[in-house]
Structure 1
Amino acid sequence: MAQPLCHPQHTAQRFDMEGFNSSTPQAKLTDTCLRVFCDSEKLAVLLNDGQQSDIALQACGTPIIKLLLHLSNAIKNREGNFDLAVQRLDDLINLATEKFYAFPFKDVPACWRDLFRRASFLKVSALAVKQTWLQEGGNSNLSLKDQHLSGQQMDEMVRTIDMALIMAGPPSSSDSQEQIKSVFDLLQEIYMDTIHDSKETPPNKRRKLDNAALWQDRFPTSKAFEPAVSSPIPKLNEPSFEEFENYMLRPRDDSLGPEPTIITGALKHWPARKDRPWKSPSYLLSKTIGGRRLVPIELGRSYVDEGWGQKIIAFKEFMDHYILHPNSSALAIGYLAQHDLFAQIPSLRDDITVPDYCYTSPPPPHHSSPLAEKHSELPQLDEPLLNAWFGPVGTISPLHTDPYHNILSQVAGRKYIRIYAPKESEKLYARGVEDGGVDMGNTSSLDIGILAGWDGSEEERTEARERFPLFQEAEFVDCILEEGECLYIPVGWWHYVRSLSVSFSVSFWFN
């Protein structure tokens, strides 16, 4: 027979919100979790008058709402069995997860997404008060403000919130999003306090796995193959706003439109390039709550390769397995690619600034592009779209086009980039709509590495040249994008990107 979570007559609330002195980060965290995530009043209203409250969650059924209310009260009062409460929350999360796989992801009913989030946030609240709850079955006089989170508790809390945001998406309310951000900020503050108190060894004090020497706070170097640059992209040294806008609007060749250019000097003021360096592994780990934040990564050299896949892992695992010790196992290449890292971790967003060039008025897609009409139909962006690209040597973005103008900013490391004008599209063999109805018309069928003679066997190169005979006639420009440089890629231009070292880039899409 299942053990009851708590006696139904236990109604005395041990946690007095008004009398709680939330002066420490731990106390503020507990306060926020119990006040925001354990909102029993809203759940009670939903039970009593569901038609006028949260319709989405109501579709999950009255028994589930009653259980959520019961668990919310148990957590606030620290009553009953802690392990059983967490198990029931895990059961609710698993139930919602099963529903995710019963529908195409975009068609998952809103109630199951909401259940996933609510159960996850209640679990985080339970973990926040775990120490006092377990102390003498919840009857201890240990103050909530005096408890300390263990590293394992922080692991589970961060993982639970991130999985909720990744799987179910953020809540629609901006207030709720801000409250979640405040929880992450407090967890970050608690983590930094443990570093200062020497309760958790900081990354820059760790030793290498072989204990032979102190761990070096830099990315590993490797001798990667470096393609020769044969048609260099011109450079502009820190052009003014007006100069760059004129460069786009008054092209030297009307048959091409604005052309790619390297911009130097534009990143020299970025904290990510100076006192908050993204080339420092210990700094990146410290900004992700000791590497606890979850990130989605791509597995494989390129997203068009056979065997390519994706998974969600902790940032410290990504760093250890794929960046710092990439040869320590037979793992595939791991790449944090085209991820909105800065919405997930706003503190990293503070280390960079959007280049002023992204606020110019660029020309529309060039008429020579087969995708010009499609790209022209996109609405005007209110703000540039930012994405992070972080990975080891050898990652490849296959030849493709983007629907926006792009300022690709190289924060750390180096990349080889080859670019083709839209008028060369016929010679670049776009993939089109593939199995499952996925439109891959923005991606080429060509493997530039094989056709250029850098990769593959001689047999593979010969086969590729015979299959794509027009490729040899396609004209291109290329460059090695160095640390601290930006590359302007006009909308609709095809580009192939190959990392020559551990590399951290930020793309700014604008139209």
Structure 2
Amino acid sequence: MAGLWSAIFAALPVTEADFPLDFSEKIEPSLVEVLKQCRQQLYSGRCQWMQDAQIILDFSWEKLNTGTWRDVDKEWRCVYSYGCLFKVASLCREDASAVKVQEAIRTCDMGLLMGASIMDNVLQRIIRILQNKVWKSHYKEDPNEGVSPKALAVPRIRCPSLERFKNDYLDTQKPVILEGIIDHWPAFKNHPWSLEYLQTVAGCRTVPVEVGSRYTDENWSQTLLTINEFIDQYIVKNTTDLGYLAQHQLFDQIPELRDDILIPDYCCLGDGDEDDITINAWFGPGGTVSPLHHDPQLNFLAQVVGRKYIRLYSPEDTDKLYPHQSQLLNNTSQVEVESPDIEKFPEFVNAPYLECVLQPGDVLFIPVKHWHYVRSLELSFSVSFWWS
């Protein structure tokens, strides 16, 4: 965590006098005084303003949740963002443990989702610092080594209403991580998915297995194995060869597993009915990769077991991603995302992207045609729902 606070403080105005806190009479004078007190403590080097920051957040949160969202005055959203900023500063000022940094990242995301942009979008700059300085080192790998575009975190939101998801993400085609929407699945509650459970339910079943770390590799192939054989060969023995179970019919083939998952309610916003939704299974060891590609439908990627690193690029930057020219792979980039050939693909470094580590219980919304790169950080089981 060395240097984290210095980097955050460097993203703020140089002096207290340059730190704007200009509000109209709509904001209670007593609350403005609390804001000014936090500002003064920030520049005086003291770090005991967490309580004041929480007062700001609690007070403004009530204003944000009174009436409809369109009626919330922007000044109150700004107050909420300042509260998030002061809370993050308090969390990271001294003992910036991994737990505190994760809370700081979540706090920044809440400010970005519920607040308004302040000081030239300072929360975005701070969350980038938190990721670059802490998050990637926490996972012991830097997935962006050798690449230096602006990387932003995929925003997170917990259990949004159908209306809010439609207005803020579906209609605008913006990626988002939905939290708390699959916690009730039997795959988490009744009989949590594990190797032992999978072997008990379907160990003797024969399924297609992809051999190779990614489908663009020359030595990539497919074979048929029982699930027990797949687990023994590619997971238990942990061979250098990588195998991946990517099955579009697994849940039709093994209804016991299909009963453990539920279609997200948000799919009802689509044009088709439930029978038009394609459900896919993705199961394999750490290190397996889905190359940078895009799909023709909307996608909910639900993480059940393990973690995955995911990077997303907008369709607007397709030219910078160098799709294959062949008809078969024209939805797939030629670039090795984590070790790009800059001489061959020079514009790739200019393509901005979003990134995240998908945790168990997270659901990532991937809009149509959004490019995405996926790498399993460990043994992983994901379920994706393709819908229109």
Q: How high is the TM-score relative to the length of structure 2?
A: 0.60
4+ long deviations beyond 4 Å: 379-382
> 2: distance between equivalents of 1:274 and 1:292?
24
1:285 corresponds to 2:199:
yes
Query: Match for residue 175 of structure 2?
Result: 260
Q: Distance in 1 between matches of 2:249 and 2:142?
A: 29
TM superposition shift of 1:306: 1.8
Partner of 1:34: none
Quick one: which amino acid aligns to residue 443 of structure 1? T
Distance 1:298 1:350 in 2: 25
Query: Given the alignment, which residue of 388, 398, 402 partners 2:295?
Result: 402
**Separation in 1, partners of 2:293, 2:360:** 23
* Superposition pairs of residues 129-278 of structure 1, within 5 angstroms: 225=141, 227=143, 230-251=151-172, 258-278=173-193
Deviation string, structure 1 residues 234-261 (Cα, Å, up to 9, x no partner): 011011222212223553xxxxxx1100
CA contact (8 A) 2:156 2:177 kept: yes
- 1:360 counterpart letter in structure 2: L
Paired residue secondary structure (1:448): coil
1:504 shift after superposition = 0.2
Separation in 2, partners of 1:343, 1:293: 12
Q: Deviations over 1:19-42 (max 9, x none)?
A: xxxxxxxxxxxxxxxxxxxxxxxx
Residue 491 of structure 1 aligns to which amino acid in structure 2? V
**Matched-pair contact (CA < 8 Å) for 1:226–1:500:** no
The answer to whether 1:360 aligns with 2:269 is: yes
Classify the secondary structure of the residue corresponding to 1:440: coil
Change in CA separation of 1:338 and 1:496 when aligned onto 2, cut-off 3 Å: farther
SS in 1 for 2:357: strand
Q: Distance in 2 between matches of 1:297 and 1:276?
A: 25
Aligned to 1:336: 245
Whole-angstrom CA distance in 2 between matches of 1:310 and 1:447: 22
Letter in 1 for 2:176: T
SS at match of 1:496: strand
- Contact 1:224 1:500 (8 Å CA) reproduced: no
CA distance 1:226–1:323, change in 2 (3 Å)? farther
| Rounded Cα–Cα distance in structure 1 between residues aligned with 2:325 and 2:339 | 21
Q: Could you state the TM-score of these two structures normalised by the residue count of structure 1?
A: 0.46
Asked whether 1:319 is paired with 2:319, we answer no
**Cα distance in structure 2, aligned partners of 1:502 and 1:303:** 18
- Structure 1 pair 226/267, CA: closer, same or farther in 2 (3 Å)? farther
Q: CA deviation at 1:382?
A: 4.2
The one-letter amino acid of 2:200's match is S
- Alpha-carbon distance, 1:320 to partner: 1.1
CA distance in structure 1 between the partners assigned to 2:278 and 2:338 by the alignment:
29
Determine the structure 2 residue equivalent to 1:446.
335
Cα pair 1:335 1:390 within 8 Å, conserved: yes
**What residue in structure 2 maps to residue 3 of structure 1?**
none
Letter in 1 for 2:301: L
Conservation of the 8 A alpha-carbon contact between 2:158 and 2:178: yes
The separation in 1 between residues aligned to 2:248 and 2:211, in whole angstroms, is 14
Whole-angstrom distance in 2 between the partners of 1:250 and 1:287 = 39
What is the rounded CA distance, in whole Å, between the counterparts of 2:291 and 2:197 in structure 1? 30
Alignment check: 8 A CA contact 2:169 2:176 kept = no
SS at match of 1:272: coil
Alignment of 1:416-435 (within 5 A): 416-433=309-326
Give the CA deviation at 1:410.
Answer: 0.1
8 Å Cα contact 2:152-2:353 kept in structure 1: yes
Of 360, 375, 378, 1:483 maps to 360
Contact 2:151–2:353 under 8 Å retained in 1: no
Contact 1:342 1:349 in 2 (8 A): yes
C-alpha distance 390-476 of structure 1, shift in aligned 2 (>3 A): same
Amino acid at match of 1:287: V
Secondary structure of the structure 1 residue equivalent to 2:217: coil
Q: In angstroms, what is the RMSD of aligned CA positions?
A: 1.9
Classify the secondary structure of the residue corresponding to 2:296.
coil
Change (3 A) 1:226 1:338: farther
- Is there any run of 5+ residues in structure 2 with no aligned partner, and where? 1-138, 145-149
2:309 & 2:339 partners in 1: Cα distance?
A: 15
Kindly provide the amino acid, as one letter, of the partner of residue 285 in structure 1.
Q
Q: Which amino acid aligns with 1:225?
A: E
Tell me which residue corresponds to 2:208. 296
Q: Give the conservation status (yes or no) of the 8 Å contact 1:225–1:500.
A: no
Whole-angstrom distance in 2 between the partners of 1:383 and 1:277: 27
Is this contact kept in 1: 2:214–2:289, CA < 8 A? yes
Work out the CA distance in 1 between the residues paired with 2:274 and 2:319: 29
Q: Residue type of the partner of 1:270?
A: W
Contact kept? 1:245, 1:361, Cα under 8 Å = no
List per-residue Cα deviations over 1:4-51 (Å, max 9, x = no partner): xxxxxxxxxxxxxxxxxxxxxxxxxxxxxxxxxxxxxxxxxxxxxxxx
What CA deviation, in whole Å up to 9, does each residue of 1:257-282 have, x standing for no partner? Answer: x110000001110010122111x211
Compute the displacement of 1:340 (Å): 2.1
Q: How does 1:3-14 map to 2 (within 5 A)?
A: none
Compare CA radii of gyration and give the structure with the larger one. Answer: 1
* Corresponding residue of 2:387: 510
Contact 2:151 2:354 in 1 (8 A): yes
CA 1:466/1:338 → structure 2, altered by over 3 Å: closer, same or farther?
farther
Deviations 1:95-123 (A, max 9, x none): xxxxxxxxxxxxxxxxxxxxxxxxxxxxx
Residue 371 (structure 2) pairs with residue 494 (structure 1) = yes
Asked whether 1:385 is paired with 2:294, we answer no
Q: Structure 2 CA distance, aligned partners of 1:283 and 1:224?
A: 30
Partner of 2:79: none
Deviations 1:380-399 (A, max 9, x none): 88431000000000000000
Distance 1:505 1:249, change over 3 A: closer
Q: How far apart in 2 are the matches of 1:224 and 1:326?
A: 20
| Runs of at least 5 residues in structure 1 that lack an aligned partner in the other structure | 1-222, 252-257, 363-378, 452-463
Tell me the amino acid that sits aligned with residue 336 of structure 2: D
Instruction: Give CA-to-partner distance per residue, 1:332-359, whole Å, 9 cap, x none.
Output: 1000024321011011000010001112
